[in-house]
Structure 1
Amino acid sequence: MLSLIGAIQDLLFPPVCVVCGQRLAHSQPPLFCDHCLGELAFINSPLCPCCGLAYNGGDDHLCGACLRQQYSFDRARSLLVYTPAVAPLILRLKFSGQLSALSSLGALTARSPSLDDLSEPDWIIPVPLYRKRLRQRGYNQATLIAQACFPQWRHKIRHNLLTRPQPTRPQTQLTGRARRTNLAHAFALVKEKDITGRDILLVDDVLTTGSTVNECAKTLRRGGARRIEIYTVARSWPEARRALLKEEPAPSDHEDRRGEPGALIGAADYQVR
C-alpha cells in the first residue's frame, strides 16, 4: 500500500535533483542526479582531529591553525566541502526559503563517517540568528539543519539556551581577523544552569574561518559547558572560495599553509565514499 502511495506521489509530484532540477527515477533521499552527486566533495580522513580540515594524504594530524591557537570547542566536523555544487543548496536554504534539500542533507549525514567522530550530546544548539534577521527570514536555517541531520536526537535540540542579542555585519563581507572582531560578545546565554556540565553539539550551515562557532563556544564555556563539538553541512576552503567568487578572496585562517605536509585537498582529489 505504501509503495502504491509513493508511486502515485511520484507521478503527481515528479522527484527532481535538488541541485540541477533533473528528473529522477526515485523519490528516496538523497535526491541528486548521478552528475551532481559525483560533484559533491565529501570530507573524510585524513583530517585535522580538532577543526576537521581535510588533507590530501598522510595521517590525521593537527593543522597549523590548531597548533597556533586553542579553539574554545573540542572538535569540528563537516559533511561537504563548500564547492559550486553545494553553494546553491545552502544559499537557497538561507535566503530563498527553499527547504527541499534538507531531507537529502539528512540522508547524506546519516551515511557520513564524520558522525562517527561526534559524541552523543546532552543538548544540540543551533547557532542563533539576531532576532530581527530571524523575523525577516522566518526561520533559523541552523535549526532546520539540526532537525534534518540528527533526527535521532531531535528531542535534544534547544534553541532557547544561546541567543544573539547584538546585530553584526554579515560574515561573508569580512576577512578572517575582521570576522573575529565582528563577533566579539555577539552571543549570550539564557539559562546558564542548563549549560553547566553539559556536552553540547553546535550546528551551523557553513564553517569558514570558524569565528562564529568559536565565539559561540566561548560563551558556552563561560557557562560551564563540559564538552563542545561542532557540526556543519559544509566547510569552506580557499580554492573553493575562488571558484565561487571567481576572484582572489581575502586570506582565510588556513590559507598560509600550502607548503606544509598534508596541504589542503582540492575538490578534484576527493572521492565520494
Structure 2
Amino acid sequence: MHCQPEYKHQVYIWLKNNQTCLICDEASESGDCVCNVCETELPWLMDQCTVCALPLPMDGLICGQCQKFPPAFKHVVAPWTYSFPVDTLISRFKHQARWPLGHMLARLLGQHLHHRFDEAELSRPDCLLPVPMARKRLRERGFNQAQMLARWLSERLDIPVDEHLVLRPHETVAQHTLDAKTRKRNLLTAFALAPGAQVQGRHFALVDDVLTTGTTAHSLARLLMDAGAQQVDVYCLARTPKPGA
C-alpha cells in the first residue's frame, strides 16, 4: 500500500507551477512548500542552553538542570520552540498522518543542520538513530514519526540511518502522561541494543519529533555511551520551554 512508511516515492503530488504553502495555503515559490512569510514567523529557537536547547533569557549558557545532572548526550539541535504553529503541525503529522507536514519540517531541519555543519558549529555524526516506539503504540498509530523523520534527514544530509540498532523490547506508559521523576523510572529498562550492534567509537545522532524533559534522549544516550559510543547528539523538530515559562 502506498500509505505505508516503506513506500519510497513521494507521498503527495509536486506541482511545479502551482505550489502552495502547507501552513497558509497561499502560493509559494519555495521548494519546501512553505512561503517565506510563514517560514520567517515560525517560532525559531534563539537563546538556549548549549547542551539541551532549553529556551533561556541569554545565549551561551548551560541551564541549571544540565549543570546539576549532566545528560549523556552532548548537544540537542532543535530549530523551533514547541509552540504555535509548529506544535499544531507536528500534532497533525503524528496523529492525523499528515506526512507532507512532517516532510516539510524535516527538510527545514535538514537545512538548519547543514548550516550548523558548514559553520563548523556541529560535527557530522556517523549514523542517525530514530527513537524507537513501543510496539503497542506503533500498532495503534501505524508508523513511527521519528523513523520517518530520520529517513528524510538521511536523504537530505547524506548520513546513513540505522532503524534496528536500538530496540524498545518492553512496553512502557506514554511519557507525556508522566512527571519528570516518573519518566526516569518508566524508562529504566525500556531500551536495549540489538544483538551484535556496532557502537564502539561511533558518533550517533538520535532523531525524534519533540524534546520535553530529555529523559528519553538521556536514557538512549546513556545506553550507547556505556556501550562505547564516542558521542551522542539529539536532532528534533522542537524543544518545549520550561513549564510556566
TM-score by length of 2: 0.83
Counterpart contact for 1:122–1:200, Cα < 8 Å: yes
- Name 1:157's counterpart in structure 2: 161
What is the distance in 2 between the residues matched to 1:48 and 1:110?
21
* RMSD over aligned Cα atoms: 2.4
- Name 1:195's counterpart in structure 2: 199
- Name 2:171's counterpart in structure 1: 167
What is the distance in 2 between the residues matched to 1:95 and 1:180?
25
Q: Which stretch of the first structure deviates more once superposed, 78-87 or 174-183?
A: 174-183
Q: Secondary structure at the match of 1:101?
A: helix
Instruction: Determine whether 1:49 maps to 2:36.
Output: no
Counterpart contact for 2:43–2:84, Cα < 8 Å: no
Instruction: Determine whether 1:177 maps to 2:181.
Output: yes
Using the TM superposition, give the Cα deviation of residue 133 of structure 1 relative to its aligned residue in structure 2, in angstroms. 2.1
Q: Secondary structure at the match of 1:232?
A: strand
Spell out, residue by residue over 1:176-201, the C-alpha distance to the aligned partner (whole angstroms, 9 max, x if none). Answer: 11211221211000045411211111
What residue ranges of structure 2 are gaps of 5+ in the alignment? 1-13
Q: Which stretch of the first structure deviates more once superposed, 98-107 or 65-74?
A: 98-107
Among all aligned residue pairs of Structure 1 and Structure 2, give the percentage whose two residues are the same amino acid: 32
Counterpart contact for 1:49–1:60, Cα < 8 Å: yes
- Name 1:144's counterpart in structure 2: 148
Instruction: Determine whether 1:72 maps to 2:72.
Output: yes
- Name 2:15's counterpart in structure 1: 9
Q: Secondary structure at the match of 2:53?
A: coil
For residues 209 and 63 of structure 1, do their structure 2 counterparts lie closer, same or farther at Cα, with a shift above 3 Å needed? same
For residues 43 and 191 of structure 1, do their structure 2 counterparts lie closer, same or farther at Cα, with a shift above 3 Å needed? farther
- Name 1:230's counterpart in structure 2: 234
Using the TM superposition, give the Cα deviation of residue 162 of structure 1 relative to its aligned residue in structure 2, in angstroms. 0.2
Q: Which stretch of the first structure deviates more once superposed, 103-112 or 86-95?
A: 103-112
Where is the helix percentage greater, Structure 1 or Structure 2? 1
Counterpart contact for 2:30–2:36, Cα < 8 Å: no
Q: Secondary structure at the match of 1:205?
A: strand
Matches within 5 A, 1:83-122: 83-112=83-112, 115-116=116-117, 117-122=121-126
Matches within 5 A, 1:33-44: 34=37, 36-44=38-46
Question: Between Structure 1 and Structure 2, how many residues are aligned?
Answer: 228
Counterpart contact for 2:42–2:86, Cα < 8 Å: yes
Counterpart contact for 1:176–1:209, Cα < 8 Å: yes
Counterpart contact for 2:125–2:205, Cα < 8 Å: yes
Q: Secondary structure at the match of 2:100?
A: coil
Q: Please tell me the residue identity of whatever aligns with 1:232.
A: C
Counterpart contact for 2:26–2:35, Cα < 8 Å: no
What is the distance in 1 between the residues matched to 2:160 and 2:28?
35
Instruction: Determine whether 1:28 maps to 2:31.
Output: yes
TM-score by length of 1: 0.75
Q: Please tell me the residue identity of whatever aligns with 2:52.
A: C
Counterpart contact for 2:129–2:162, Cα < 8 Å: yes
What is the distance in 2 between the residues matched to 1:135 and 1:122?
30
Q: Secondary structure at the match of 1:9?
A: coil
